[in-house]
Amino acid sequence: MRGPPDIWSTPRIFPHRLELPLDRVVVVERSEAELRAASFLDDRALGPAARPLSVAWAELGHHVPAAARRDLQYIFHIGHVGSTLIARLLGELPQVLALREPLILRGYADQLGREGDPDCFWAPQEIPARLDALTALLSRTFRPEQRALVKATSFVSDIAARLVPAGSNALLLWVPPEVYLASILAGDASRQEVQLLAAARVARLNRAGVAPPVRLWELSFGARAALGWAVEMIALRRAAAALGAARVLWVDFDTFLAAPAAGIARIAGHFGVPIDRAGAEALAGSEIMRRYSKAMEHGYSADLRRQVLAEACRTHAADLAAGLAWLEQVAAGDERLAECLRFAEGRS
């Protein structure tokens, strides 16, 4: 990419990330095929031929066309609940441009989480315009009949209600705590992720006002794993309340896997995408359902997932029990988490 691009003329110029100290946006050129293939639209998706270009915010955000589309829709989730799979399935439909985990959203989540704080780069009065520019950038598609669908990173759920534009909907993906914990305990990478994200999750939970405050050094490994379910479910429940019941669809991933064709049809309908029974069944029987969605070269399936989770429950029974006990303990003093647990039990 050479010289300042006409960013608003094509969705090929994709907003990659923020350079917050410089108040700039790094953009990269991506084809429709590249966007469709990428599991994550972060640095992992940048090949050796990528030529990132840094653009001043004043050049970009202050020139949003009045007629720009602002109709993207969102998938939010608690992590490890099939969001990449569902985004890939929907991305097979010609009416959907699926964008998986744009890195730029993390910068927005960071700054909106600091809104009004002395260390925030953005003044509070600037934020609506910056959100509008983000919405317009991510709403661009390659054809008029397409509509963008963004699958966010899990911790972006803290700002979910502010991201979904008027007239658009959101899918909220989750599983009950025992299933979530088993999925986390099952893999080496996800177990490492527990430790890497623990401090940030404690900070998020404490910012939400849990009492008494959670102290990281007091948490067992099982409790640290359960911390992920707690903060993400509280965030999703808060987003659902702000958006309203008509604009959100809650989907338990295990329920989806039990009847994927029906699940695909239901989700597509929520997003206003027409699909008939044959089309939903074709997607449910496609190769995508037999692959690991984050790395399509590896096979995976619902049956294999059940086996992996069952083995994790046996191998890590103590951590699983500790995590569930910690959730109950915190919920005894925090009504928001108690509501999440009742929701998981089908009682709210």
Q: DSSP of 319-338, one letter per residue?
A: HHHHHHHHHHHHHTT-HHHH
% of the chain surpassing 90 pLDDT? 84
Tens-digit pLDDT profile for residues 82-130: 999 999 999 999 999 999 999 999 999 999 999 999 999 999 999 999 9
Q: Judge whether 1 lies within some domain.
A: no
User: Is the pTM higher than 0.75?
Assistant: yes
Phi-psi region of 13 (alpha: psi -120 to 50; beta: other; left: phi over 0): beta
Q: How far apart are CA 122 and CA 128, in angstroms?
A: 11
Within-domain flag for 2: no
CATH number (domain holding residue 312): 3.40.50
Distances from the Cα of 119 to the Cαs of 94, 106, 149, 302, in angstroms?
Answer: 43, 17, 32, 45
Share of the chain above pLDDT 70, in %: 98
Q: How far apart are CA 128 and CA 70, in angstroms?
A: 13
Output the furthest CA–CA distance in the chain (Å, rounded).
Answer: 58
Q: Domain total for the chain?
A: 1
In this prediction, residue 46 has a pLDDT band, given cuts at 50, 70 and 90, of: confident
3-state class of 174 per DSSP? strand
Residue 103 domain flag: yes
Q: Which residues contact 230 (CB under 8 A, 6 or more apart)?
A: 201, 205, 327, 330, 337, 340
What CA–CA distance (Å, rounded) separates 108 from 130? 9
Domain carrying residue 274: 7-344
Q: How many CB atoms within 10 Å of residue 84? A: 22
Identify any residues that bridge with 14 across adjacent strands, giving them in sequence order.
28
Kindly report, residue by residue over 182-205, the tens digit of the pLDDT: 999 999 999 999 999 999 999 999
Question: Does residue 168 fall inside a structural domain?
Answer: yes
Give the integer Cα–Cα distance in Å for 148 and 179: 30
Q: Is 339 exposed, middle or buried (0-12, 13-18, 19+ CB in 10 A)?
A: middle
Closest to 38 (Cα-Cα) out of 109, 93, 91: 91
Give the H/E segment covering residue 191.
helix 188-207
Q: What is the torsional sign of CA 334, 337, 343, 344?
A: negative
In a domain, 281, yes or no: yes
Tokens standing for residue 193: 């992720």
Ramachandran region, residue 101 (left: φ > 0; alpha: ψ -120 to 50; beta: rest) = left
